[in-house]
Amino acid sequence: MAIKLGMLRVFRTVAEQGTLAGAADALGRTPSALSMMLAQLEEELGAPLFETDRKNRLTPLGELVLAESTNATDTFDRSQEAIRRYVSSTAGTVRIVTVPSATVTMLPERISAFSQQHPLVRLEISDADSRSVRRRIRLEEADIGIVTTTPDAPEEGSVVLQDDLGIVFRQGGEISQKIRAGKQPSWSFARLEPFIGNALCALVENATVREVLANCTLEARNTTALLSFVREGLGATILPEGAIAHQSEEIGFARPCDPVAQRQLRMIRNPDRRLSPVAEEFWRCCQNAWQNA
C-alpha cells in the first residue's frame, strides 16, 4: 500500500488537534476511521508516529512526517484552488490589488466596461502601496496588480494610464491667490501652505518637494482621504490630475513645469502563473481601453 495524501491529511489533523476525537470533529469523520487510517500509515512506514496511544506526543519520525504532511497538503490545496479559479471561466473571481489613486482615476471606467460584458464575474478590489502590490502578486494573493511608476522607469507590466502630477489645493488659500494673480505654477507653491505627504511625491524630481515632504506632519496613502484633508483646509498635496476630475469647485489643481512630472499606472501579473480566463479578459479590457484612448 502506497502513502496517500488522505493519510497525510488525517495524520496532520490528528497531530495538530492532539486527539482522535478532535481530529474527527475537524474532518467530519469517525474516530475509528481515523485510527484505522493512522494504523495503515504506520504500517506502511514501519514505525510508530506517536509516543503513546493518546496521540498528543510525536516520535522523531512523527515530527518529520508532520512537516512533510503540512507541506504536501498545503501545496495540494493551493493547486486545487488555482485549478478552480481557472476553470471558473464565465462566473469566476478576479482579485485586483491596486495603488489607491487608480481607484479614483482609471479603474471605475474599466470596471464598468468589463462588468457590462461579464455581469456574473466577481471583482475583488483591495488597495496597497506599489511595493505591497508587487509582493502580493508574487505570493499569488491577487491575480492582477496596478502599480505607480514614472514614464522612464524600467519596463514592467503593461501601461494602462499616464497623466500629469500637480499640486492639489483648496480654493481661497495662498496657492489659489498666486494662480489668480497670473503666477506660473511652480513646485515652490508647495511651501505656501501646510503640506500633506503621500507616496506620489517621490515621483517628483524637485528639491522643494523633497524638502516639504521631509518636514510635513501629515501624511496619508488613500486618495479619498487626501482629497478630504485638502477640502477641510488641512493643506495641499500632490496628486494626478485625474484624481480631481469629479471634485467640487473648492479644490484646484496646479500643473508645475519646473519640471513637468508624470506618473504611469501599470498592470502587473505573476509571470509564473497563468491567469484564469476571466482575469485574462479583464487584463485585455484594461489594455484595450488605454490603447484606444
What does 211-241 look like in DSSP terms, one character per residue? HHHHH-SEE---HHHHHHHHHTTS-BEEEEG
**For position 268, what pLDDT does the model report?**
97
The C-alpha atoms of residue 226 and residue 263 are separated, in whole angstroms, by 17
Q: In 175-203, which positions are buried (b, 16+ CB within 10 angstroms) versus exposed (e)?
A: bbebbeeeeebbbbbbbbbbbbbbbbbeb
Same domain, 256 and 287: no
Closest to 49 in 3D by CA, of 4, 11, 23, 2: 11
Domain count of the fold of the chain? 3
Same domain, 254 and 172: yes
C-beta separation of 238 from 168 below 8 A: yes
Same domain, 270 and 142: yes
Look at the block and give the residue holding cell 519646473.
258
pLDDT tens by residue, 97-113: 999 889 888 899 999 99
**For position 247, what pLDDT does the model report?**
73
Same domain, 208 and 274: no
pTM of the model: 0.64
Same domain, 275 and 146: yes
CATH number where 218 lies: 3.40.190.10
The C-alpha atoms of residue 174 and residue 191 are separated, in whole angstroms, by 10
Same domain, 202 and 73: no
Same domain, 25 and 104: no
Question: What domain range is 137 assigned to?
Answer: 93-160+264-291
pLDDT tens by residue, 242-293: 888 777 789 999 999 999 999 999 999 999 988 888 899 999 999 988 887 6
Q: What residue type is assigned to position 64 of the chain?
A: L
Same domain, 80 and 123: no
Same domain, 231 and 255: yes
Same domain, 181 and 67: no
